A = this chain, B = another copy of it.
Amino acid sequence: MQKEITIYDIAKQLELSPATVSRALNDHPAINQNTKTLVANKAMEMGYRSNMFASNLRRQRTKTIGVIVPRLDSAFMSTVLSGMEKVANESSYNLIISQSLESVTKEIANAKTMFDSRVDGLLVSLASDTDNLDHFNTFFRKGIPLILFDRVIAQKNCINIVIDNQKAGYDATIHLINQGCKRILHVTGSLKRNVYADRLRGYKLALLEHGLTGGAELERSTNLTRQDGLDLVNYIKSMAIPPDGLFIASDFCAATCITALKQSGFSVPTDIAVVGFNDDPVSLVIDPGLTTIHYPGQEMGEIAAQSLINHLNGLLRLSTTNTILLNHELVVRGSSQRVVSQSTLP
């Protein structure tokens, strides 16, 4: 490897003092703009690298933020990451990313790697089988801030960024009730995770308030995959009395289900009205358009990164703020909107 270029090398080439070069590179007000430009161009030409790395080491800061998510290949998570990258980049932080692949074993290994990499802080959304935060104790003990987002466990000294999933589940269900649905089937994910347990709670609350029946037959806990969407249609066909409304906790699964329902002769929304969750791009592509809960993924990513950076800069103490709740929104499209006068039963 080539020898590292220093400010002394640049100074020699430009016949300037090393102090001038250093001040020019650090945008010092005493140095005029022409000199700054001259030094910057020469530094670039010679391949000079600022000593950020070494200076961060001295300051015990790496200017990196670790991110652990369940899966990278998810439409929702990719918008969250996009928001995090935007904010981190603007504040000159690097993002180190890793995925748990929904396994607590991998999440524990990821946490250890992040710790050894000396990240300044950590942003985490939990795997589907994580039971507690013990694997982050090394961070807590060292005072390294940890922010949980989306999939969280409430714990002291650890900020949570979420939407009100119970209210969102309630809003989705009330909307179906308002469209005339009397028998609403809810399809959800692992009930270990707040996001799914809370949506189910909201669904039950809405039924209760309107004197509608729920029960085991109308609650399905799945992995919310495409196959689960297809299996659901077979389940519906096997029911003595099929549902007239579906609330599915993921848009991709809901969209798959709508296509399969139509292919099985059900009319959407006339026979079965459908509401999804997340407002993924797919909800706009299918026909009819999918009614869903808009989940502010980009904003969640931005706020998570900004809160962490503010904490690191002493502008916000995480311990004083335990939960940040973001607004969700019901977006009504064709999959649930019933026009009473037009019956299009198959």
Contact = CB atoms under 8 A, between A and B. Distances in A.
Interface of A: 1-2, 44, 47, 49-50, 52-54, 57, 60, 62, 64, 71-75, 77-79, 81-82, 85-86, 89, 92, 94-99, 110, 113, 115-118, 138, 141-143, 226, 252, 255-256, 259, 262-263, 281-282, 284-287, 298
Contacts of A115: 49
Nearest to A112: B44
A64 B1 contact: no
A25 B301 CA distance: 36
B97 A81 contact: yes
B89 A78 contact: no
Nearest to A67: B97
Contacts of A262: 287
Given A115-B49, A259-B285, A79 B89 contact: no
Contact of A282 (B49, B98, B143, B281): B281
B142 A47 contact: yes
A320 B79 CA distance: 38
Contacts of A259: 285-287
Nearest to A81: B72
Query: Main SS of chain A's interface residues?
Result: helix
Nearest to A230: B284
A73 B82 contact: yes
B143 A49 contact: no
Nearest to A72: B82
Nearest to A52: B116
Q: Which 9 A-B pairs have the closest CB atoms?
A: A72-B82, A73-B82, A78-B78, A94-B96, A255-B285, A73-B78, A259-B287, A73-B79, A47-B141
Contact of A60 (B1, B72, B94): B1
A95 B92 contact: no
A113 B141 contact: no
Contact of A85 (B49, B52, B99): B99
A285 B252 contact: yes
Given A64-B96, A85-B72, A94-B117, A2 B57 contact: no
28 contacts: A1-B142, A44-B138, A47-B138, A47-B141, A49-B116, A49-B118, A52-B117, A53-B116, A53-B118, A71-B82, A72-B85, A73-B75, A73-B79, A75-B78, A81-B97, A85-B97, A85-B99, A86-B99, A95-B98, A97-B97, A226-B284, A252-B281, A252-B285, A259-B286, A282-B282, A285-B285, A285-B286, A286-B286
A44 B135 CA distance: 10
Contacts of A113: 89, 92, 94
Nearest to A106: B89
B1 A285 contact: no
Given A72-B85, A97-B81, A256-B284, A53 B62 contact: yes
Nearest to A263: B287
A135 to B, nearest CB: 10
Nearest to A287: B259
Nearest to A50: B116
A10 to B, nearest CB: 14
Contacts of A98: 85, 89, 94-95
